[in-house]
A and B are shown apart, each in its own frame.
Chain A
Amino acid sequence: MVLILFISCIEEPTEKFEIPQQHPKLAIVKDWFETNKEQLRIDDSRENFSLGGQELILPFFEKEPDWDKFHIYEWPDGRIVYEINLANKEMVLSSEFKENMPQANPQETVIQNIMFVENRENGRYDPVIARYYPADEYSISDFDDISYNQIGAGWSGKVDLWTYDERYFIGFVIEDGVIVSTAHPHWYMDDQNARKLPNSEEITLTTCVLRQTVIATTVSTSTGSTTTYHVESSIWYCPSGGGGDSIGSSYTVGGGSTYEWPSESWSGGGGSGSSGTVSGSTYTPPVIRMPSVLNALNNPCASRLFIQSTKNNNFNFTVPAQIGNLNPAIINLFQQTTKYPYLIKNGSVMNINRQMINARTTLNSGIITVEINDSYLNQATELSIVRTIIHENVHAYLLHQSKTNVEFAVGLNNFAKQNNLNNLPNTHHELMGQYVLGMAISLWNWDKNFGETKGALDFEYYYAMAFGGLLDYDTKKPNQAFQTLAGTKVADYLKIIENESSGNSNAKGKKCNQ
């Protein structure tokens, strides 16, 4: 792991821009930060670039938040997070970033933010630094497109969190929206069992690695630039003994994991136990949760289809969405919302009464989760799988709206009563009659851009597919919406859905596993 401190001098713009009106709560955070920023640094880190005690601490530089560029969101435990872009010319780069994108201009590719995490108990806003290193050119994002709570399905790269005074906290390697490994500072390994949440399914594999840290300081002026380097090496944690820091490589399933900075009383073994005094109470970095990512499909084909289905969001989303590319709009909604994160994964979904379950959408520990059945993925065509993803995402959307929008919840309740629907699946599936056209357009849009048939099938074929799943919960027969909209073509449409679902010789799409 190589870290580079990159400093450049960029000419100040001479043009004056109109300053957008700030969010009222942001002004409170700003005032708090200006008042308390001197107390946010830990005593023993005020000396520049200390690697003493085996802890990775970078040289401190004063943080300069650009208060006009911000994200405000809420974590599931109710804490509000204010994530502000840093205007600093100093930038910390990782070796992975330099290897992946050697030609990239860090100022245009790496995003460096400060997150103020609300601490209601002590009336303060605990800061951490978040850095986003894209792994490829496709993952280069604007500030508006990525935040700790909004990492898209197709994003690949590394997200590193540092304490305000630049002590390494936690890092996540993300591939196509999936967290594939987690990097921890040395103290994590010593205390991980004590800190692991009961519901965490984290498996940590420890490796022994030599770490090399390079601090490069580049100063650019009108007459040229000068760069100075400082290299430090240290041994990462080894299971058989030896000192140094550790790196954990882990795969995390589901959500709910949080990461806590060690308390002062725990600070032995080379740990710092960072603490200071802010507003009369002891300062510690905030408890951090996992970043919100969307895609946990470990079936490569399904993951690709999901990512493809979220693209081409060129239409305005209307409710009810009868026209427009519905699926990307739903995912976009989840990327912007914070109350109920969205997760998609595959797995073994239980069969019931000898009937195949293609997929299910659940609200699980505050996360709206879409799960696609492995056996279905193995037999269905890509067209069918995208159809199912779109269908489940409409469930996710209806679930989200009924949990967050009281008018929608009341309307859905009235809809159920008026139509004598005695359970939520039937209510969703009847209401989905209003979304069939939008689902068909989404499916056609995917096929046109990525599918085997390039959108050349008769549009009625996509329309027929969009009725998939509109069945009565108990009888498994086409529901009222299906029968009303499809009319005399119900049997024809069911056959099309069945052909693509089973991937038989009459299917138009190609199988996902081919």
Chain B
Amino acid sequence: MKKLIFLIILFPLTAFIQEKELPKLSVEQYEILNKLFPKEASFTLLRYTSFPLHLDYFLTKEHFEMDGGFCRLTNDPFEKSDLWDHLDSEDFEYIKDNISLLGEAYELEQGKLIYPNVQLVDLYLNNHIHLISAPIIKGRFSIIHHVHSFIEKIIFFEKDENGDWDILCEVYIKLDLVDFGH
């Protein structure tokens, strides 16, 4: 009985500590996250964000050129090989130089996401689950790291003159179009 009482006391305390330890995303970060997927898409998302340490390795002009293709597909597209010049700014320099330090784990709050068909899960138990980083924002640029099964990419966001965030470019780190048998 004593053991049970101890556990009843300990469990909410532990949960409280965990909750306190994880910072919350800002309103602006949610604005960006809410542009990441089509609104009506059905998907499963890990509740906790994470940031890989190796990401700066891919933030190079050479990698952008190697991936190839186009950026800003919604308005005035340009070649991905020109992305480096487009990003050229102190803000991007700051993100690039400090990305390993800036990457913290956050807890996502379902109520602040606009996706009606998203399911947040606590554990990464299979490859169907989308794993994202918290948006790192500096000035008018933001980047997110996104992993889904055999696909890994960096998504660049840019704030327009009206202060709205939109996807600037998607640069793939890994792109395997896998076809399953039965």
Tell me the A residues contacting B by CB distance below 8 Å.
Answer: 339-340, 349, 352-353, 355-363, 365-366, 376, 388, 391-392, 395, 399, 402-404, 406, 409-410, 413, 416-417, 419-425, 428, 469, 471, 473-476, 494, 497-498, 501-502
Chain B contact residues: helix, strand, loop or mixed: loop
Q: Are B70 and A409 closer than 8 Å at their CB atoms?
A: yes
Q: Are A357 and B68 closer than 8 Å at their CB atoms?
A: no
Q: Are A420 and B40 closer than 8 Å at their CB atoms?
A: yes
Which residue of B130, B175, B178 contacts A363 across the interface (Cβ within 8 Å)?
A: B175
Q: Are B150 and A403 closer than 8 Å at their CB atoms?
A: no
Cβ of B148 within 8 Å of any chain A Cβ, yes or no, is: yes
**Complex CA–CA separation, A483 to B153 (angstroms):** 30
19 of the cross-chain contacts (CB-CB < 8 Å) are A339-B68, A340-B68, A352-B127, A352-B178, A356-B180, A357-B178, A359-B178, A360-B178, A366-B66, A366-B68, A391-B179, A399-B177, A420-B38, A422-B37, A422-B130, A424-B177, A469-B179, A473-B149, A474-B44
Q: Are B179 and A353 closer than 8 Å at their CB atoms?
A: no
Chain B contacts for A469, CB-based, 8 A: 179-180
Given known contacts A349-B178, A360-B178, A410-B74, what 6 new A-B pairs fall within 8 Å (CB)?
A355-B181, A360-B150, A395-B179, A419-B38, A473-B149, A501-B181
Q: Are B77 and A360 closer than 8 Å at their CB atoms?
A: no
Chain B contacts for A402, CB-based, 8 A: 69
Cβ of B128 within 8 Å of any chain A Cβ, yes or no, is: yes
Count of A-B residue pairs with CB < 8 Å? 110
Which residue of B is nearest A77, CB measured?
Answer: B65
Q: Are B176 and A362 closer than 8 Å at their CB atoms?
A: yes
Which residue of B is nearest A402, CB measured?
Answer: B69
Which residue of A is nearest B127, CB measured?
Answer: A352
Given A356-B182, A360-B150, A360-B178, also A410-B77 (CB < 8 A): yes
Q: Are B151 and A424 closer than 8 Å at their CB atoms?
A: yes
Q: Are B182 and A501 closer than 8 Å at their CB atoms?
A: yes
Which residue of A is nearest B118, CB measured?
Answer: A422
Which residue of A356, A416, A425, A471 contacts B177 across the interface (Cβ within 8 Å)?
A: A425
Which residue of B is nearest A373, CB measured?
Answer: B181
- Shortest B114–chain A CB gap in Å is 13
Q: Are B41 and A421 closer than 8 Å at their CB atoms?
A: yes
Chain A contacts for B67, CB-based, 8 A: 363
Q: Are B69 and A358 closer than 8 Å at their CB atoms?
A: no
Q: Are B180 and A357 closer than 8 Å at their CB atoms?
A: yes
User: B30-69: contact bitstring with A at CB < 8 Å (1 yes, 0 no)?
Assistant: 0000000111111110000000000000000000001111
Chain A contacts for B106, CB-based, 8 A: none
Which residue of B is nearest A409, CB measured?
Answer: B70
Given A362-B176, A363-B172, A422-B43, also A357-B181 (CB < 8 A): yes
Q: Are B179 and A360 closer than 8 Å at their CB atoms?
A: yes
**Complex CA–CA separation, A362 to B179 (angstroms):** 11
User: B59-99: contact bitstring with A at CB < 8 Å (1 yes, 0 no)?
Assistant: 00000001111100110010000000000000000000000
Chain A contacts for B180, CB-based, 8 A: 352, 355-358, 469, 471, 476
Q: Are A410 and B73 closer than 8 Å at their CB atoms?
A: yes
Cβ of B126 within 8 Å of any chain A Cβ, yes or no, is: yes
Chain B contacts for A358, CB-based, 8 A: 179-181
**Complex CA–CA separation, A334 to B181 (angstroms):** 27
Which residue of A is nearest B71, CB measured?
Answer: A409
Q: Are B179 and A388 closer than 8 Å at their CB atoms?
A: yes
**Complex CA–CA separation, A340 to B175 (angstroms):** 15
Which residue of B77, B177, B179 contacts A409 across the interface (Cβ within 8 Å)?
A: B77
- Shortest A422–chain B CB gap in Å is 4
Please give the number of chain B residues whose Cβ is less than 8 angstroms from any Cβ of chain A in the complex.
33
**Complex CA–CA separation, A501 to B180 (angstroms):** 11
- Shortest A78–chain B CB gap in Å is 9
- Shortest A380–chain B CB gap in Å is 8
**Complex CA–CA separation, A420 to B42 (angstroms):** 8
Chain B contacts for A409, CB-based, 8 A: 69-70, 73, 77
**Complex CA–CA separation, A339 to B77 (angstroms):** 19
Chain A contacts for B39, CB-based, 8 A: 420
Given A409-B69, A413-B74, also A497-B177 (CB < 8 A): no
- Shortest A407–chain B CB gap in Å is 9
Chain B contacts for A355, CB-based, 8 A: 180-181
Chain B contacts for A363, CB-based, 8 A: 67-68, 172, 175
Q: Are B151 and A403 closer than 8 Å at their CB atoms?
A: no
Q: Are B38 and A417 closer than 8 Å at their CB atoms?
A: yes
Which residue of A is nearest B78, CB measured?
Answer: A406
Q: Are B38 and A422 closer than 8 Å at their CB atoms?
A: yes
Which residue of B is nearest A408, CB measured?
Answer: B70
Given A340-B68, A402-B69, also A359-B179 (CB < 8 A): yes
- Shortest A341–chain B CB gap in Å is 12
Q: Are B41 and A428 closer than 8 Å at their CB atoms?
A: no
Chain A contacts for B43, CB-based, 8 A: 422, 474
**Complex CA–CA separation, A474 to B150 (angstroms):** 11
- Shortest B135–chain A CB gap in Å is 17
**Complex CA–CA separation, A365 to B174 (angstroms):** 11
In order of increasing CB-CB distance, the 8 nearest A-B pairs are A356-B181, A413-B73, A474-B128, A403-B69, A422-B41, A420-B38, A469-B179, A420-B40
- Shortest A480–chain B CB gap in Å is 12
Q: Are A365 and B177 closer than 8 Å at their CB atoms?
A: no
- Shortest A389–chain B CB gap in Å is 11
Given A363-B67, A420-B38, also A392-B73 (CB < 8 A): no
Chain A contacts for B37, CB-based, 8 A: 422
**Complex CA–CA separation, A358 to B176 (angstroms):** 13
**Complex CA–CA separation, A52 to B114 (angstroms):** 77
Q: Are A406 and B68 closer than 8 Å at their CB atoms?
A: no
Given A406-B77, A413-B73, A422-B41, also A497-B182 (CB < 8 A): yes
